[in-house]
Structure 1
Amino acid sequence: MKSQPLLNYIKNFVTLTVEEEAFLESKVLYRKYLKGQYVLQQGDVCKYQCFVISGCTKTFHSDDQGQEHIVMFSIQDWWTSDIGSFITQTPADYNIQCIDKTELIMFSHDVMEELYIEIPKLERFFRKIIERGLVASQKRIVRSFSLSAKDRYLYFRNQYPKIEQLIPQYMLASYLGITKEFLSKIKSQLLLEDQS
């Protein structure tokens, strides 16, 4: 069953009956993306809430100079979407691009509304997911202005060791709000500290 990873994830929050699982399964849209493909492009309306089965995506905003500002990575068992665009069905502020070959389970806006009606406990489940995302986002904002670049990197490395293995250094630098040269300097410093 393609949606088994999602069902396993949902079990951490709510318990579905066999009938509810079957109904959910009938509403799942399953898609594979190649490395470099876009799930969403800035300016388009975000039509899907996506659960990552495998692979890795980056969520970023492109400014007027074409500079990428990465705000999030999503790996296996994480969600990805431009939630503001998805909820309001207005143009997206963000791009979502696959860093690697990626498999997603996707729910359209209409399907989500249908799931909430047919399986009310899923509304609670998605509320909890969105709450967690909001908390993580707010904590990240605080870290961005209260921690040094080195401490932001150390936090990322400790919290998300799997992600660091999957992404190129320039993407991590963008996420941390620093240049890749400065990130190299931080890593060299840490290496020296470890050796002494």
Structure 2
Amino acid sequence: MINNSLLTHIQKYVPLNEEEQLLVASQFTQQMYKKKSFLLKEEQVCHALYFVDKGCLRNFFLTDKGVEHTTQFALENWWLTDFLAFEQEAPSNFFVQAVENSSVYSITKIKQDELLVKLPKLERYFRLILQRAYGAYQLRIKYLYSQSGEERYHHFNNLFPEFVQRVPQYMLASYLGFTPEFLSKIRAGKV
């Protein structure tokens, strides 16, 4: 029996026997990334899907004026990539960066496709993961349009207090759709 965070996570959704675990484990590569290093850069062809074993990643883009906009974070047991570019094996519109020193399991599109042919029940796992991620993304968009900046911060802080402790203030502000200065005012109770 293989014991790692990726297989443990998969088995919360889909049971795997020992042979299937070995097959899954053989298709992934474990990599270490130092804080601030890039797993993917804008315009680079996206070949990999990343599962966070330890650490934190973020997905962001830059405006024409060089302003960063964080679209997603991923802590332990979360998946991250530029999903559209990964699916199409196309140049990315985003950057994926390590927020902390991170241990990540990655799989290429080719290996994922081969794995899904050999082990079709993993289609269910990836479908459930993507449905949950997409649902969370829809709620995030709703909150961006329907809540004030202060409401978004408090809502996010209540749901994900670990992010607030682990993510730099400017990244959190970018994700929530306001400036670091505004976040400082919220935290100081001056809004």
- Which whole-Å deviations, capped at 9, do the CAs of 1:112-160 have from their partners, x for residues lacking one? 1011111111011101111111111111111101001011001110111
Task: Write out aligned runs for 1:20-99 (5 A).
Answer: 20-99=20-99
The CA distance in 2 between the partners of 1:46 and 1:72, in whole Å, is 16
Q: CA deviation at 1:2?
A: 8.0
Aligned to 2:129: 129
> Secondary structure of 1:117's match?
helix
In the superposition, the TM-score normalised over structure 2's length comes to 0.96
Structure 2 unmatched runs, 5+:
none
How many residues in Structure 1 have an aligned counterpart in Structure 2? Answer: 191
Is the 2:2–2:21 Cα contact (8 Å) retained in structure 1?
A: no
Aligned to 2:165: 165
Structure 1 unmatched runs, 5+:
none
Q: CA deviation at 1:163?
A: 1.1
Is the 1:3–1:28 Cα contact (8 Å) retained in structure 2?
A: no
Letter in 2 for 1:62: L
What percent identity do the matched residue pairs reach? 37
The CA distance in 2 between the partners of 1:28 and 1:65, in whole Å, is 37
Letter in 2 for 1:45: V
The CA distance in 2 between the partners of 1:2 and 1:170, in whole Å, is 39
The CA distance in 2 between the partners of 1:17 and 1:128, in whole Å, is 20
In the superposition, the TM-score normalised over structure 1's length comes to 0.93
The CA distance in 2 between the partners of 1:91 and 1:26, in whole Å, is 26
The CA distance in 2 between the partners of 1:129 and 1:62, in whole Å, is 27
Q: CA deviation at 1:3?
A: 6.3
Aligned to 1:149: 149
Matched, 1:7 2:7: yes
The CA distance in 1 between the partners of 2:142 and 2:99, in whole Å, is 27
> Secondary structure of 1:120's match?
coil
Query: Aligned-pair RMSD on alpha carbons?
Result: 1.5
